[in-house]
Every structure is written in C-alpha cells, then in structure tokens.
Amino acid sequence: YQLAANGGDRQARYALATMHLNGRGVAQDRGKAASLFEEAARQGQIDSMYNLALLHLEGSVRPLDPKLAAELLSRAAEAGHGDAQYALGQLYAEGLGVDRDESAATRWLGSAARLGNVAAEVEYAIRLFNGLGTAKDEAAAVRWFDRAAHAGDPIAQNRLARILAVGAGTTADPVAAAKWHFLAKRTGKDDGWLDTFVNGLTPDQRQAAIAAAQRFPAD
C-alpha cells in the first residue's frame, strides 16, 4: 500500500490510513492516518472524507472543527455514504457544525436507514413515531423498529416490545411484546413497565414468548 500511496493512489492512501489509525500491520500513528485521510479526501475518496470528519469531531490529532466535519460529512453523504448520512443527521439534530434542522436530520437519518445503518433505523423510527422533522407515521415507525430489532438492536427491541404491548401503530400482540422484551433484557435493556406487563400474561403466553425468544433470530 505504501508504494501505491506514494504514487498517488487514493484507495491505497485510504487503506494505509486505516492501517495506521488502528495499528493493523503497521505501528499505530493517528497523525499519519489523518494526513493520509486528508490526501485521499482531496482526491475525492469518500471513506476518507468520513473518517477525517470524525477526527475533526474528536479534536485530538486534528483541530476540533464541527463545521469542517459537517462539510466533509455532507460531501460523503451526498455521494451515498451511509455512515456519513447517519453522522450528518446527528449533527443536524444537535445543531453541531450546522444550524439545527429537524427536517434535515430526519431526511439524512432516513437515507442512512435505507442503506442498512441499524442505528439510523432506530433513530428514524423514533422520529417517525413522534413526528419529529416529518409527518407522524406510527405504522412506518413500527416497520423500522422491527427491522432494527431483527438486526439485534436492544433499543429497537425494547421500543417494539412496548409498541406491541399497547398496539400503537399496529395490532397488539402480547406474546411478541414479551419475546422482544426478553431479547432486549439479554443485552441489559431493562424495563420495569414491561416486566409488570409480562408478569400479567398467562403462563402459556409467557412460555410461548420464552420459546420464541430462544428461537431468535431463526424465528
């Protein structure tokens, strides 16, 4: 990679940058990684723009510069980089490096969700459910929570459990609600309200939920 990077190959520069960033195959040198990301980003290498933006948000080996980070993320996001779209959505939600804009935040989080970014799927679902930066759409929110829950996200599993318990945006399903609650609890997502809900189920319902959770993700 070094020879190709020295010759100006942007992909080689990106690959070498990630090696130095993580100390994989070479000595860890985050400053050198940042320089290589900068060189590759100037050549239009999208992953380098994203990683350089993160370094400017971190503010260690490069100056803390949220505005520059937002500009880099915007370029990468416009080019279809899912992680950049998620990060840019977060910046718009927080008003960091850009003016706070809930509509833009939701739009970018939705784009990232459609590219399979699980964290974005959860955030987008929350926004759809609450009507934040977009029209309220509980049914669509349920679909995104379900997608992220099946990907193993405990927040989505918890939210989906609550939704199925009360039937918001979908038909109530106490057994499925309990199943998702059990799965979320496996990764430490406790919920006293759902504990009480599950305790109110019949023994057969609880057993069915336990069996469904044990089959996950095959079920």
pLDDT at 6: 60
Q: Are 134 and 106 in contact (CB under 8 A)?
A: yes
How does pLDDT run across 126-144, given as a tens digit for each residue? 999 999 999 999 999 999 9
How does pLDDT run across 23-51, given as a tens digit for each residue? 999 999 999 999 999 999 999 999 999 99
Tokens representing residue 196 in the block: 């009480």
Farthest CA pair distance, the chain: 69
pLDDT at 218: 84
What is the average per-residue pLDDT within 101-130?
99
Q: What is the helix, strand, coil percentage profile of the chain, to 5?
A: 70, 0, 30
Domain boundaries, the chain: 1-64, 67-136, 143-219
In sequence order, the 6+-apart residues with CB closer than 8 A to the CB of 91 are: 66, 69, 70, 73, 97, 98
Q: Decide if pLDDT at 191 tops 80.
A: yes
Check whether domain 67-136 has CATH 1.25.40.10, yes or no: yes
Q: How far apart are CA 131 and CA 118, in angstroms?
A: 20
Q: Are 39 and 2 in contact (CB under 8 A)?
A: no
pLDDT category at 9 given cuts 50, 70, 90 is confident
From the number of C-beta atoms within 10 Å of its C-beta (0-12, 13-18, 19+), residue 33 rates as buried
DSSP state string for 82-96: HHHHHHHHHHHHHTS
